[in-house]
């Protein structure tokens, strides 16, 4: 039986400095979220008013996969939820890599070294776009990050490893992963 995987990324309305620091993620507000479902092959775009449907999709997934979703995306969504999101079955690729090598690496570093693709923008760009009312740009950025996360996850499942460039040596190094869910 094929499991229902949902890949997730979201952006916020406000940055950490605007809400009194990272301890106040609940006050950041979601601007746009994007999911990709492996069973449907579809991307879905959610605005703040669509959060009940987003939460429903996440609750019905066998596994929610993302990059820094446990400490960021899900913390943002908890402000909108009446149930705890801590019980969602999740695979946080960033958290898993950190556990394996003892330090955090960004999606850009892993996707570039593993897949040859980089990010198309930064979170600070998404904050500016929110202030400018450029929701389509935020959605495009989220879609790309969801796709990069999905491709990185699929590569890790197939090959049992992903790559990064070592800061000190400049060499491409492998990180063994077990991302089958």
Q: Which domain holds residue 31?
A: 5-176
More confident residue, 12 or 168: 12
Structural domain contains residue 10: yes
pLDDT of residue 29: 96
Decide if 181 is inside a domain.
Answer: no
Euclidean distance between CA atoms 172 and 161, whole angstroms: 12
* Per-residue confidence band for 42, with pLDDT thresholds at 50, 70 and 90: very high
When pLDDT is averaged across residues 31-58 and rounded to a whole number, the result is 97
Overall average pLDDT of the 155-179 stretch: 95
CA angle 178, 41, 81 (to 5 degrees): 75
**pTM: predicted TM-score of the whole model, two decimal places:** 0.94
Cα–Cα distances in Å, from 22 out to 27, 71, 93, 96, 152?
A: 10, 10, 20, 21, 27
In a domain? residue 77? yes
* 79-121 pLDDT tens trace: 999 888 999 999 999 999 999 999 999 999 999 999 999 888 8
- The verdict on residue 131 lying in a domain is yes
Q: Which two tokens stand for residue 28?
A: 């950041």
Phi, psi of 10, rounded to the nearest 5 degrees = -145, 160
Q: Which two tokens stand for residue 38?
A: 């492996």
3-class SS of residue 32? strand
CATH number at residue 70: 3.30.420.10
The confidence score (pLDDT) of residue 118 equals 84
43 C-beta neighbours (distance < 10 Å), count: 16
Q: Is residue 46 part of a domain?
A: yes
Calpha distance 31→45 (Å, rounded) = 11
Radius of gyration of the chain (CA): 16
Query: Does residue 157 lie within any of the structural domains?
Result: yes
Q: Which helix (H) or strand (E) holds 162?
A: strand 161-165
CB of 69 closer than 8 Å to CB of 44: no
- The domain tally of the chain equals 1
For CA atoms 107, 110, 112, 115, the dihedral sign is negative
């Amino acid at each position: 039986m094929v499991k229902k995987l949902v890949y997730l990324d979201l952006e916020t309305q406000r940055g950490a400095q605007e809400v009194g620091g990272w301890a106040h993620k609940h006050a950041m507000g979601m601007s746009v979220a994007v999911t990709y479902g492996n069973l449907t092959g579809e991307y879905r775009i959610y605005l703040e008013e669509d959060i009940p449907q987003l939460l429903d999709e996440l609750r019905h997934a066998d596994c929610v996969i993302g990059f820094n979703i446990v400490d960021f995306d899900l913390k943002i969504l908890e402000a909108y939820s009446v149930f705890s999101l801590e019980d969602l079955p999740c695979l946080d690729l960033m958290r898993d890599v950190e556990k394996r090598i003892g330090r955090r690496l960004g999606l850009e570093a892993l996707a570039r070294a593993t897949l040859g693709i980089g990010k198309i923008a930064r979170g600070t760009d998404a904050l500016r776009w929110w202030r400018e009312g450029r929701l389509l740009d935020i959605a495009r950025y989220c879609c790309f990050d969801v796709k990069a996360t999905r491709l990185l996850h699929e590569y890790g499942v197939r090959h049992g490893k992903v790559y990064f460039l070592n800061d000190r040596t400049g060499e491409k190094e492998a990180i063994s992963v077990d991302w089958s869910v």
